[in-house]
Chain A
Amino acid sequence: MSDYVETINLCRTFGKKKDLVKALDGVSISIKEGEIFGLLGPNGAGKTTLIKILTTLLLPTRGEAYVGGFNVVKEADKVRKIINLVSGGETPGYGILSVKENLWFFSQLYGLNSSVAKERSKRLMADLDFEQYANTRMSKLSTGYKQRMSLARGLLSDPKILFLDEPTLGLDVLTAKKLRNYVIDWAKQERKGTVLLTTHYMIEADEMCDRVAIISNGRILACDSPQVLKEDLRKTPIAKIEVSSVQTDFSFIEKVKGIIGYSETRNIQTGVTHLRVMVNDRKVFAEIESKLNEAELKVLAVNETEPTLEDVYIRLVGKGFEEAEEKAHA
C-alpha cells in the first residue's frame, strides 16, 4: 500500500534569533492508507504544528510533506479536497445557529448536496448520540456535546484522511471512550479512512493507534506499534511506589544509581503521590525505598507493573509527561 501521509525532514521554527523556537526539528514520518496513526507527546512538543502543516494551515520552514500524494505547499487545493480537521476544545461553529444548521453550513464548504448533507448529519447525530440537540443553539451545548459536534463536522465531508488534534481534550471518560470507538469504527470498517491523531493521553494512543510516534521538542523519538514500543521495555523493571506526601520534591531520587527515569502523580485529595520508577535492576527499588525512608517519607506500597506508553516516553526522555510540561512552563 502507498504511503498516504509522508513528511521528509520537516522543520518549522517560530520567532527570530534569541526567541527562536524549533517547533519541528527534522520530522520524517510515513503513514499508510487505512492506518490510525498517533502523535504522542507533552504540551509544546510540536503536535499541533505538524497537523497545521499537513492541513495546509501553516508553511514548513524546511522539508517536504505529502498528503494523499499531494504536496501540501504546492498542491494545497488538492490536499484540501480529501482531508478534514477536528480540533478538540475548539468551538465547533456559530453559536447563534442550531446544531443542525451549523452542520448543514459546514457541509456546504465541501459542496455537499443539501439532501445528502441533511441525511448524513442526521445519521452522525444519531450515531454520536446528540440528535436530541439538533435544534439547540450551538452556544448552549456542553463541552462534551460540542466535541461530538466537532467530530460530526469533520466526518460530514467524508474525508479520506481525518486529522484529529486532541479530539477528547477535557472530556469525561465515557464520552472520550465513545468518540474513540466511533473513530476506530469509521477508520476500520465504515470508511476505511486514514487517521492522524495527536494526544497526550496514553490510553488514547494505546487503544486507538496502529502505530504511535513519540514526539518531544519537535523530534520523533520512537515510532512503532504500541505493542512493540512496550515490548522493548519488558526487561526493564518498573514499579509504582506510593508515598504519603504531596509536598515533597522528589527529584532527589534521580540521583540513585541505576534509575532510568521516573514520573510522579500527586493526588492532593488523598495526600498520596504515585511515583512510577524505571530502573535497570530490581535491586534498585530497595535502594529507592531506603532513600525515601531516610527523607522521613512514608512508603505505602511498592508494586512492580507492566509497561505503558508513558514508560516508553520516560525511557526516552528520563521523565514523565507532567515533568516535561512543568519544565516547559518554567
Chain B
Amino acid sequence: MLDDLVRNLRVAYARLWVRVKGGNREPEWLIFDMFLPIFTLSAYVYLYKMLGVGTEFAGFVVIGGTMLAFWTNVLWNMSAQFYWEKETGTLEAYLVAPISRMAILLGMALGGFVNTTLRAVAILTVGLLIFQVPLALNEPFTALLIFFLTIAALYSLGMLFASLFLLYGREAWHTASLLQEPVQFISGSFYPVRYLPTMLQLLASLVPLTFGLDGIRKTAISGEGIAQVWPHVIALSVFTLVLLPLAKLALNFMENLGKKEGRLTLRWQ
C-alpha cells in the first residue's frame, strides 16, 4: 500500500519534472506565451479607456488575462495531452507500467501549473505596472485561498477532459479549440459576468473559472473578504470534489473501453 503510494508520488513528480523541463527548454516559447496575452489585455484596456467606462475595468482585465493563461494551459496542454502521448507512443509505456493513471494526470496538472505560473506572474506584473491597477488586498490569504481553489477546480476539469479524450483522436484537439473562445466569453475574463444575459450567467456558473475570477477580483481589487466570498469558496471546493473523482471514473472507463475496442494505442483514428 505505502509502497504503491510512494511509487505513484514519484511518478507524479517525474511527470511534473518532464513538463517543467520540456516546457521551458526553448526560451522563445516563454516570451511568446507572455507577450501574446499582454497584447490581448492591452487591447481591452485601451478599448475601455476609449469608451470611458472607468478604471475599475483595467483591474478586471489584468486579472482576467492572468487567469486565462491557466485556462488556456488546461485546454491546450491538459486536455489533449493523452492524445499526444498516444501519438508519440509514451501512452503505451504508462499503460504497461504498474502505476495509477491518476498520478500521471496529477503530474501533468502540477507541471502545467508551475509552467503557467511563470508566465502568469509576468503577465500580472507587466499588467499591473503598465495600467497602474490599484490593488486593495485586505485579506491576502483569502485571495490566495480563492486562487488555489480556482486552480484546483480548473485542473480537475482538465483531468476530466484528458480522460474523456483518451480515446478520441483529433476531435480532442478541435473540441479544445472550440471551448477556448466561449469560455473566455461567458466566464467574464475581460468584463463582469453581471453584464451578460441571465441565461448566459447561468451557463457561466457551470464553469469554475467564472467563480474564480469573480472571487479573486473581489478580494484583490474590491477589497472584500471571506465574509463576502465564502460562497465562492464553497462553489470552487464542490467543483474540485466532484470533478476529481469524476476524472478518475472517466479514466478507468475510457481505459477499459479502449482495451475492449482495441483503440487504446491505435493512432490517427
Contacts and interface: CB of A to CB of B under 8 A. Distances in A.
B49 interface: no
Given A57-B259, A58-B259, A111 B7 contact: yes
B95 interface: yes
A96 B92 CA distance: 18
Contacts of A94: 18, 22, 88, 90
A191 interface: no
Q: Which 10 A-B pairs have the closest CB atoms?
A: A111-B7, A108-B14, A109-B97, A80-B98, A90-B89, A81-B98, A96-B22, A59-B259, A91-B89, A85-B96
Identify which of B11, B93, B265 gathers the most chain A CB atoms within 10 Å of its CB.
B93
Interface of B: 3, 6-7, 10-11, 13-15, 17-18, 21-22, 25, 88-90, 92-99, 256, 259-260, 262, 264-265
Interface core residue of A12, A14, A57 (most chain B CB under 10 Å): A57
A146 to B, nearest CB: 11
Classify the secondary structure of B's interface with A.
helix
A109 B18 contact: no
Interface residues of A, number: 32
A91 B93 CA distance: 11
A194 interface: no
B11 A108 contact: yes
B93 A109 contact: yes
A92 B93 CA distance: 9
* Most A Cβ at <10 Å: residue of B13, B21, B262: B262
A106 B25 CA distance: 19
A63 interface: no
Contacts of B265: 52, 57
Interface string A1-36: 000000000001010000000000000000000000
B96 A96 contact: no
A57 B95 contact: yes
A58 B264 contact: yes
A167 to B, nearest CB: 14
B259 A109 contact: no
Interface in A90-106: 90-97, 101, 104-106
24 contacts: A56-B96, A57-B96, A57-B264, A57-B265, A58-B262, A59-B256, A59-B259, A59-B260, A80-B98, A83-B96, A87-B92, A90-B89, A91-B88, A94-B18, A94-B88, A94-B90, A95-B88, A97-B22, A101-B18, A105-B18, A106-B93, A108-B14, A109-B98, A109-B99
Contacts of B17: 105
A90 B89 CA distance: 6
A84 B11 CA distance: 16
A109 B88 contact: no
B181 to A, nearest CB: 29
A97 B21 contact: yes
Contacts of A201: none
Interface string A47-76: 000001001111100000000000000000
A129 interface: no
Nearest to B19: A94
Nearest to A110: B97
Contacts of B25: 96
B141 to A, nearest CB: 35
A325 interface: no
A178 B89 CA distance: 24
Given A56-B95, A80-B98, 8 more contacts: A14-B262, A57-B259, A90-B89, A95-B88, A97-B22, A105-B14, A105-B17, A153-B93
Contacts of B97: 80, 109-110
A77 interface: yes
Contacts of A52: 265
Contact of B11 (A57, A96, A104, A109): A109
B10 A111 contact: yes
Contacts of B13: 108
A91 B14 CA distance: 19
Nearest to A59: B259
Given A56-B95, A97-B22, A111 B6 contact: yes
A244 B14 CA distance: 59
Contacts of A90: 89, 92
A105 B254 CA distance: 25
A85 B96 CA distance: 7
A91 B90 CA distance: 8
Interface in A224-274: none
A149 to B, nearest CB: 12
A54 to B, nearest CB: 10
A58 B262 CA distance: 6
A58 B266 CA distance: 11
Contacts of A14: 262
A77 B1 CA distance: 13
Contact of B3 (A56, A85, A111): A111
A77 B93 contact: no
Contacts of A84: 96
Contacts of A110: 7, 97-98
